[in-house]
Amino acid sequence: MEKRSNIFAISSTIFLLTLLSKIMGFVREMVIGYFVGTSSVTDAYAIASVIPNFFLLVVQQVISIAFIPIFLRLFKRGRDEANNFVSNSALIVGAFSLVLSVIIFVFSKPIIRVFATGMDEETILLTQKMVSYSSWSLFVQSFVLIFTSFLQAKKRFIFPILAGYILDIVAIFFFWFTSKNGHYSYLGIIPLLTMCCELLILVPVACKNGFRFKAKKPLFSVEVKELIKVSIPALIGVGVQQLNLLVDKNISSLTAVGGIASLNYAQNIVNIIETLIMNSIVVVAYTTLCDFESKTMVSESNSYFVKTSSKIACLVIPFFMVLFVFSKPIIEAIYMRGAFDQTSVSLTEANLKGYSFGLVAICMNYLSIRFLYSKNDRYTPVIFSAICLVVNATLSFCSYKFTSIGVSGIAWATSIANILNSILLFAYIHKKYDVAISNIFDKNIASIIAFSTISTIISYAAFRATAPFINIYICGVICFVVFFGILLTSLFLFEKDVFSALVSVVKKNKKTEEQTTNH
């Protein structure tokens, strides 16, 4: 019981730190929207960031999925063996990422055309200049990922999040700087500079937590070969997920100028919730699931998966309702200033509704896939992801070709594909591993849905009544207080066990984190 309490206390601490990081991200997006709105510049910046991130996220997911279980096993044998594995992995992943960076730099123009078919020549040239800087961030980030995974395996989850704060600070400064002189190509420096700063923070922290660079021959040791072997299905699976994003960007570039940017603005808001769940729950849960499996505690692993899935649903459902119902005022409050006009609001609002519809499913998918990886079942997610890629591509193309709903059809297609993926994963996990999936959808979920619906209706009525008379930010604060006030009060009065489950994760955070760190 104490161990489980520690896990959720650490999760809540990470949740709060990630939330603060995302608030800074809001400020960054407000600055971007103020200076360039939804224009060819934001399209160029989005693609210049997406191209290295496309390959980066593949490497990131592969490392985080395959690295941690092997490291935990080696660390039990001895620190030197674990450090040899980390050092050899860093050299190999670094060399692989360097090759990718060179390829992106040399072939930037044809790669840009693959990612954004509908871009005009002027925007492509601007994007190409940005990519000439941003491509090298992939090389530096490979070392950031290794040290982040090392710290996560050592259950040091806080510092990687704190290091990520640099991204927003540097981005805000550069957007202000480029707006003054008009050299927007310098925006491509942002990913490279932030990765270098993160590395300067993570390396000393990793050394303080026991890392010593000890590369040992043979470079491709048994464990490194195992890492590569395990990574192949994970690489394919994450690659398929990234192809989904490529489909979105490609078709959106055909719809309208600013289509890519409007999707990015909406995704950034939805990604706040996804990142909160990923960093604060899924990352911690994956380490715990791997621990259970290494000790052959199968029933404990299955039970932990069910309970964690239920907690994720309880946390995400209220946010889904808020994003879906209040999409327009949220977009207006965050972005509508400067070059971000009412047209930009309309584009982005429709996309936010579409993406938020699949929010619960995508968060469940993160955990389900990690559960399968902890079971050494790495090919099933690939198969399901491939099916959903075909569904997403087909629906996105049909919405563009045969309907008039515009770029928002891409967001809806993505959500439908994610929901299908979630259904397939749950059905497979239930049948293959005899996990009681039905226990996820217990009375806690029913209570959250019921009271969230009531809170949404009342807070929306309050918004409609007050919006014509007061500032949108004050109105937003009122609606926020009304929504969560009614939700938490209702749970406290009628479902005290649900209320206790939601607030228990914030009790004794500081004390528990200190105990875990000392341990």
pLDDT single digits (tens) 321-377: 888 988 888 888 777 766 677 877 888 888 899 999 999 999 999 899 889 988 888
Q: What's the rounded Cα separation, in Å, for the pair 494 and 451?
A: 10
Q: What is the DSSP letter of 281?
A: I
Count CB atoms within 10 A of the CB of residue 274: 17
Higher-confidence residue: 486 or 273? 273
For residue range 23-34, what is the model confidence (pLDDT) as tens digits?
666 666 666 666
**Which pLDDT score is estimated for 510?**
39
Look-up of token digits 């660390």: 75
Asked if 289 and 311 count as a contact pair (C-beta separation under 8 A), the reply is no
Q: What's the rounded Cα separation, in Å, for the pair 21 and 408?
A: 27
Quick one: which H or E segment has residue 395?
helix 380-402
**Which pLDDT score is estimated for 353?**
92
Q: What's the rounded Cα separation, in Å, for the pair 500 and 221?
A: 48
**Burial zone of 441 (CB within 10 Å; 0-12 exposed, 13-18 middle, 19+ buried):** middle
Asked if 187 and 173 count as a contact pair (C-beta separation under 8 A), the reply is no
**Torsion, Cα of 397, 398, 401, 405 (10° steps):** -100
For residue range 454-482, what is the model confidence (pLDDT) as tens digits?
888 888 888 888 877 777 667 777 777 77
Q: Mean pLDDT check: name the lowest of 12-16, 63-67, 390-394.
A: 12-16
Cα dist. 408→33, 285, 341, 388, 404 in Å?
19, 33, 18, 18, 10
Q: What's the rounded Cα separation, in Å, for the pair 125 and 282?
A: 39
**Which pLDDT score is estimated for 430?**
93
Count CB atoms within 10 A of the CB of residue 252: 29
Count CB atoms within 10 A of the CB of residue 118: 18
What are the tokens at 241?
A: 């997920």
Q: Which residues contact 208 (CB under 8 A, 6 or more apart)?
A: none
Whether the upstream peptide bond of residue 218 has omega within 30° of 0, thus cis, is yes
Q: Which amino acid, residue 160?
A: P
**Which pLDDT score is estimated for 425?**
94
For residue range 429-438, what is the model confidence (pLDDT) as tens digits?
999 998 988 8
Q: What's the rounded Cα separation, in Å, for the pair 265 and 45?
A: 12
Mean predicted lDDT score pLDDT of the chain: 76
**Which pLDDT score is estimated for 507?**
46
In the predicted model, what is the mean pLDDT of residues 210-236?
A: 75
**Which pLDDT score is estimated for 257?**
60
Sign of CA dihedral 20, 22, 23, 25: positive
What are the tokens at 316?
A: 């995400």
Percentage of the residues of the chain whose pLDDT score is greater than 70:
72
Q: What's the rounded Cα separation, in Å, for the pair 38 and 40?
A: 7
For residue range 90-128, what is the model confidence (pLDDT) as tens digits?
888 888 888 888 988 888 888 887 777 666 778 788 888
Percentage of the residues of the chain whose pLDDT score is greater than 90:
8
For residue range 160-207, what is the model confidence (pLDDT) as tens digits?
666 666 666 777 777 777 666 667 777 777 778 778 877 888 888 888
In the predicted model, what is the mean pLDDT of residues 312-328?
A: 87
Higher-confidence residue: 13 or 267? 267
Q: What's the rounded Cα separation, in Å, for the pair 437 and 313?
A: 13
**Which pLDDT score is estimated for 199?**
82
**Which pLDDT score is estimated for 31?**
67
Look-up of token digits 């896990």: 7
Q: What's the rounded Cα separation, in Å, for the pair 19 and 345?
A: 24
